[in-house]
Structure 1
Amino acid sequence: MTVGMVPGASIAGMVFSLVVSFALPIGLFVYAKKKLGAKTAPFFIGCGVFFVMVLMLEAAIHRIVFRLAGEALTGSVILYAVYGGLMAALFEETGRYIAMRFLVKPLDFPNAFMYGAGHGGVEAMLLCGVASINNIASAVMINSGTMSAQLATLDAEKAADTAAALSALWTTPSLTFFAGGVERIIAVVLHLSLSILVFQSIRKKAPMELVRAYLFHFVIDSLSVLLSAVASVWVVELVAALLTGGAVLMARYACMEE
């Protein structure tokens, strides 16, 4: 059992991702509150919708589907990508629509923006922020020797399994640890854009804006899964950024239309 040292650059990437995961949502909240005059409630409505629709309902459906479909679904990258994209778009955009239709009051641009900051922000905090905290804590324990001391108290098999699980912290290229933060920046911008599209679909009674929100979400999520199987994480983030740029332009165009 060999425990390596986690490079300082890798820890810097973890810290970067951690800071982005919390500072970006907080910064957007302050901006929407102070500069746009948004209410506070839409931020927490966005947080709640993500928690209920994704972490509770979507996760419950995933457990059922994976139990029934098994490797027929998880064994095919294409099927898994299409399924994942469809489910993400269905639950998140439906939740976004319901929240804006019935909960976000008054429904205007500042509050739609604030909702998007909450929806995308809590996702960043829970998915990337918590993982970054765990990675940093483990890296510090590894480099200080504390982890080796703890592993020495375990039986050989369990110690080896734990070391193998932790090995990604010192074998993964340092630059990769920055990708989590970059991904969250892109994802939050996407959530802001999709929130504006859904807002405009309700305000203008324009169903196509809602359809575009579903499509953008589906395409970006599905393509990200497909590309992750054959390309580097930076290629995946580049494509996601380009598609998100399209969503930003679409949201801006929707705001300019009368």
Structure 2
Amino acid sequence: MHTALVTGGSAGLGLALTQDLAADGWHVVVDARDATRLERAVGALPGSVSPVPGDVTDPAHRQALADAVARAGRLDLLVHNASTLGPTPLPPLAAVGPDALGDVWLTNVAAPLALTQLVLPTLRACGGALVSISSDAAVEHYEGWGAYAASKAALDHLTLTLGVENPELAAYAVDPGDMRTAMHQAAFPGEDISDRPLPESVVPAIRALLRRRPVNGRYRAVDFAPPTGTSADPAGTGVTGADHQGVPA
């Protein structure tokens, strides 16, 4: 049984991806800060799911995640999805103090790297995939998004450098696009974001990316989205989950 580790899996894209992988026969190790919310989200999911509540910034929690991976005996996919916007409403960068910036950096950059370091030998042994959920803010410049954007740009860089240093891995920074999530709502308080797509709509594109396993790099999920109403290979490569020689999607 293939194993994935997904951080931030009690809601949004992390939960949608956990649900999809578990339904497809994967064992999924998943975390979130709120234990009750995590159990409510994944406790009744069909398939094999190991919830590990805790905060990725806590070294003891990261070790607990690594221990769960060790018990599974393999790691085929590591998804860094947990993140924070920092102070909201989003302030101009000139108003972001060092403590606030440090909190964003710890959650979005330092913790993912530290977790990767713990499980890297297992991920490498399986020829697995490292996926960091990014944002268009990592390459564009938006008022109020400076701290978050800088952290995502840094995470992109770390992810792709790990790919260079570990050629056994597939390494991807994935921009999922706007989604109808609590985090996105927090960035736009009082605004109606019901026109944004649900996180579930992004999962097929991420699975397609993993099936195709292109060269390491930064990708937009929309570029791998299957045509509406089809399940065909969106990249036109002829590669399916059954045919794939690397990480099954």
| TM-score for both structures, normalised by structure 1 | 0.29
Which one scores higher on RCO, CA 8 angstroms, separation ≥ 6? 1
Q: Which has the higher helix share?
A: 1
| TM-score for both structures, normalised by structure 2 | 0.30
| Higher alpha-carbon Rg | 1
Q: Which has the higher strand share?
A: 2
